[in-house]
A and B are shown apart, each in its own frame.
Chain A
Amino acid sequence: MSDLKALTDTVVEMKETEALELTVKLLESGVAARDVFRAYQDAMSEIGKRFEQQVYFLPELIMAGDMMQKALEVIRPHLVEGDQGGGAKIGKFLIATVAGDIHDIGKNIVTMLMDINGFEVRDLGVDVPADRIVEEAKAFGPDVVGLSGLLTLAYDPMKEVVEKLEAAGLRQNLKVIIGGAQMDESVRTYVGADAFATDAVVGVNLCKEWVN
């Protein structure tokens, strides 16, 4: 067990090479792949916490995502069905950067943090037309729809999504949050969203409150 704890710590401390070596060693010595995977999940949740506390920032988050991905390549062949399921999901979250905007950094941070925080996340990518977001919302049944946009040109497409969710009869069953550097209360009102966030952590915490 202490080796698994050590693995979690090396990942949290961004010691990439050591973490990978330890992962291989643990698997070779017969530790269940499921437990090794959990050690990584624990690390991700600690990294998420440090991000919230503003101890870690974008570099650590991106690095952690890459370490996790590389580790999975090593762990995956050893996993049996059901191992990767993680805990019960606390809610469903649909996210997209709206039509006309091609920025993805903010969206990707939120996606990662929502996942760490136990949401089932569907990420539609960038420059996503309103109709597609509405269609996906219909099929996926999210508790929260997150609309991302860096530029002021995102205001109108965001408004369009909210109007179309309304027209499709979906609006009353879900919350809409808009996120990006140029969002504030006046934009929230204009768009007709339930909340705005300029900071990923604030947004994620709001979503958690909503589903609780």
Chain B
Amino acid sequence: MLEELRGISPEDRVEAFLDIWVSGEGLEFASEEAREAYRYRAGLLKDAILLKKTPDRVPILPLATFAPTTLAGMSGKQAMNDPDGLGKAWLKFVDDYEPDALGGMLMVMYAPVLEALDYKLYKWPGHGVPEHLYYQFNEQEYMKADEYDHFIQDVTDYWIRVWLPRTHGALGPLAGTFPVYGSMELPMSSPWLMTLGIPEVQDAFKALLEAGRLTFEWFQKMMPYVGQKVAKGFPESAGGFTKAPFDVLADSFRGTTGIMMDLFRQPDKVLKAVEVLTPLMINLGVSLAKVNRNPLVFIPLHKGADGFMSNAHFEKFYWPSLKNVMLGLIENGCVPVCFVEGAYNQRLEYLTELPPGKCVFYFDRTDMARAKEVLAGKSCIAGGFPVSLIMTGKPEQVEAEVKKLLNQVAPNGGYILGVGTALDDPKPENLKAFMEAGRKFGKY
């Protein structure tokens, strides 16, 4: 937790952390106007989240992963290989579209790092995906059905010695190392250390060191651009990220087919595994938010969406651990920002179980009028604008749709305007129409 929050009662921590973020304290700004613009924008988000007062206008938060570089004429491959091009594209993007907050520059990632690691978990432009496109998750059964006991007993050992070798080709030899526990005593240390000396293991460590070095260098190049973006008065939209424990297990370990059969074949082990992951996912979100002094913790939600499972399965396997992660974040003053991919029309009532004015639910295809009805006075809602219209529609259609959406969900605050999914390839005139319509019709 942030030091300043220690003396503050748990229920007031979210507001206190938001105040620290809005103040822009410790940040550098290009001018007094930029500082004021930053405070105004972050303040809009704060008011929308806390539900205590109606903001001056509806804040606008587009999710953009590859949109800035695509609009700058760069391919996905260039975006992932050219840090300066990436940084400049993002600076131009905020100048052109003036979002109230924007994050994700570092989510583009640096391709040479993935190459050094022989990364398997995603395919990326030039590596399994055409160069002009964007990275995609490569779902496989990276954890076998009979490995739950190892996972539950010692998840970090499992992670490093079983899962990393399968998902990061260059780290394959780590599978041949011993667990670290012998290091507790001199006479017991040598077996573990000896395995670290195996030539293939040494190569794996070299690859890891190289990946670390490349990422560090990339950060050195990227951070000044992130700083300049903030200095112009545009807040970062995420201080950290984490995931729903069930999604961690389902997406990156068991895969959809595996996990769905586990619900019938070994339900208790699934429940234990998500329980093991819960504190880790709280810590991940809190520690990043703390370093960045930004309470917004982004949580993309995947396999609990409508259609993925029944409410009975959702209640048993998905929701309790997600709720615990969210409560853990809130206790530490963080704001869980759930990016609810797909639709949550069958699940909206569960979301009312969170304490009021502490969370954001950023929707993709959920019925926004119903979301507003169910969550008004409970949690801030966001998004819901169809990405397809930005990509295939006309500016007049975009404007009319923004107006319609705002009429439905903006009244009395508690709404952040956003496109329902991450933008990769928007039509610029439509994105402009979207932002302008938001500013025009979103004024309270």
In the complex, what's the smallest C-beta–C-beta distance from B435 to chain A, in angstroms? 18
Q: Does A210 contact B (CB under 8 A)?
A: no
Please measure, in the bound complex, the distance between the C-alpha atom of A155 and the C-alpha atom of B424, giving whole angstroms: 12
In the complex, what's the smallest C-beta–C-beta distance from B132 to chain A, in angstroms? 9
User: Nearest A residue to B308 by beta-carbon distance?
Assistant: A58
User: Nearest A residue to B125 by beta-carbon distance?
Assistant: A100
Please measure, in the bound complex, the distance between the C-alpha atom of A183 and the C-alpha atom of B421, giving whole angstroms: 12
Q: Say yes or no: A57-B391 contact (C-beta < 8 A), given A102-B138, A184-B386.
A: no
In the complex, what's the smallest C-beta–C-beta distance from B224 to chain A, in angstroms? 30
Q: Does B388 contact A (CB under 8 A)?
A: yes
Of B133, B260, B388, the contact of A183 (CB 8 Å cutoff): B388
Please measure, in the bound complex, the distance between the C-alpha atom of A187 and the C-alpha atom of B421, giving whole angstroms: 15
Please measure, in the bound complex, the distance between the C-alpha atom of A152 and the C-alpha atom of B419, giving whole angstroms: 12
Contact A58 B307 (CB under 8 A): yes
User: Nearest B residue to A190 by beta-carbon distance?
Assistant: B392
Of A14, A57, A153, the contact of B307 (CB 8 Å cutoff): A57
Q: Does B263 contact A (CB under 8 A)?
A: yes
Of A16, A55, A181, A186, the contact of B342 (CB 8 Å cutoff): A181
**Complex interface bits, B305-321 against A, C-beta within 8 A gives 1, otherwise 0:** 00111100100000000
Chain B interface: which size bin?
Answer: 35 or more
Contact A63 B264 (CB under 8 A): yes
Chain A interface: which size bin?
Answer: 20 to 34
Please measure, in the bound complex, the distance between the C-alpha atom of A62 and the C-alpha atom of B260, giving whole angstroms: 7
Contact A153 B309 (CB under 8 A): no
Contact A102 B128 (CB under 8 A): yes
User: Nearest B residue to A17 by beta-carbon distance?
Assistant: B265
Contact B261 A58 (CB under 8 A): no
Please measure, in the bound complex, the distance between the C-alpha atom of A57 and the C-alpha atom of B387, giving whole angstroms: 26
In the complex, what's the smallest C-beta–C-beta distance from B133 to chain A, in angstroms? 5
**Complex interface bits, A137-171 against B, C-beta within 8 A gives 1, otherwise 0:** 00000000000000111010000000000000000
Q: Does A10 contact B (CB under 8 A)?
A: no
Q: Does B364 contact A (CB under 8 A)?
A: yes
User: Nearest A residue to B421 by beta-carbon distance?
Assistant: A182
Interface members, chain B 201-215 (any A CB < 8 Å) = none
Q: Does B123 contact A (CB under 8 A)?
A: yes
Q: Say yes or no: A152-B387 contact (C-beta < 8 A), given A57-B313, A62-B261.
A: yes
Give 25 pairs: A residue, B residue, CB < 8 Å, sorted on A. Answer: A56-B310, A57-B309, A57-B310, A58-B260, A58-B308, A58-B309, A59-B313, A63-B261, A63-B263, A101-B136, A102-B129, A105-B256, A151-B134, A151-B136, A151-B424, A152-B421, A152-B424, A153-B133, A155-B391, A181-B364, A181-B365, A182-B387, A184-B388, A186-B397, A190-B388
> Which B residues are within 8 Å of any A CB, using their own CB?
123, 128-130, 133-134, 136, 138, 256-257, 260-261, 263-265, 307-310, 313, 341-342, 364-365, 386-389, 391-393, 397, 421, 424-425
